[in-house]
Amino acid sequence: MNDAKHRPIRSFVKREGRMTNAQTRALKELMPRYGITELHTLIDLDELFQRQAPRFIEIGFGMGRSLLQIAAANPDNDYLGIEVHRPGVGSTLLKIDELDLNNLKVINHDAVEVLKAMIPGNSLDGAYLFFPDPWHKKKHHKRRIVKPEFVQQIHAALKPEGIFHIATDWEDYALHIMDLMSAVDNFDNAAGAGNYSDRGDRPLTKYEQRGQRLGHGVWDMIFTKI
């Protein structure tokens, strides 16, 4: 039997590059404090954060810049970041410790598996997906994370009226997402059918600022769980 035929299609490829000594140390020393190391187990969010508060996740937080900025600016909310690439997780752990953030935890794992096995249903006030890999070549479109099964995982995790905020700088991917989300009957477009949103509380990244100067577009979409 060819095992490759039965492997799930991932939305990511691990190209981590070199880990710095600080990132490696953070994964070893800070992950037990600011991260979740027990995988494939349902998370008790109240126990994790030691309180009840509005809860948000960011899927694929990269080096953590937006997530850290949002968490620091909103201490009354709790945030959970999910990222597969260890350098980004290590850097984010270092910054959480430096800023002494008690409202941000991270998971170094595949977001699809986390949503499936670890996030309680109807527990989140919002989910962020900022600049996912667009897999721009047509033959790779099957790797795009935004697909019907993933959308239903997000829907299951959100509370009623919870928001799903997506941003991309690839127009083709934006059109694909808009078409897909407009076709499901359990999300409403917060900006009205077929319309894009402003970026809301999503921080403006340096990459995005540079793109704006060059005339590049960014498309934000915010959908509300029905």
CA distance 145 to 123: 21
Best CA proximity match to 179, nearest among 224, 146, 208: 146
Total residues found in the chain within this entry:
226
Of the residues 110, 125, 133, 201, only one is catalytic, namely 133
Catalytic residue check, 133: yes
Does the domain at residues 121-226 carry the CATH identifier 3.40.50.150?
Answer: yes
Residue type, 220: D
Q: What is the CATH number that goes with domain 51-119?
A: 3.40.50.150
Domain ranges of the chain: 51-119, 121-226
In this predicted structure, the answer to whether residue 99 has a pLDDT above a threshold of 70 is yes
DSSP 59-111: ES-TTSHHHHHHHHH-TTSEEEEE-S-HHHHHHHHHHHHHHT-SSEEEE-S-H
pLDDT at 11: 47
In this predicted structure, the answer to whether residue 178 has a pLDDT above a threshold of 90 is yes
pLDDT at 190: 97
Cβ proximity of 151 and 181 under 8 Å? yes
Whole-model pTM over 0.75:
yes
pLDDT at 3: 47
Q: Can 51-119 and 121-226 be said to share one CATH topology?
A: yes
Strand partners, 146: none
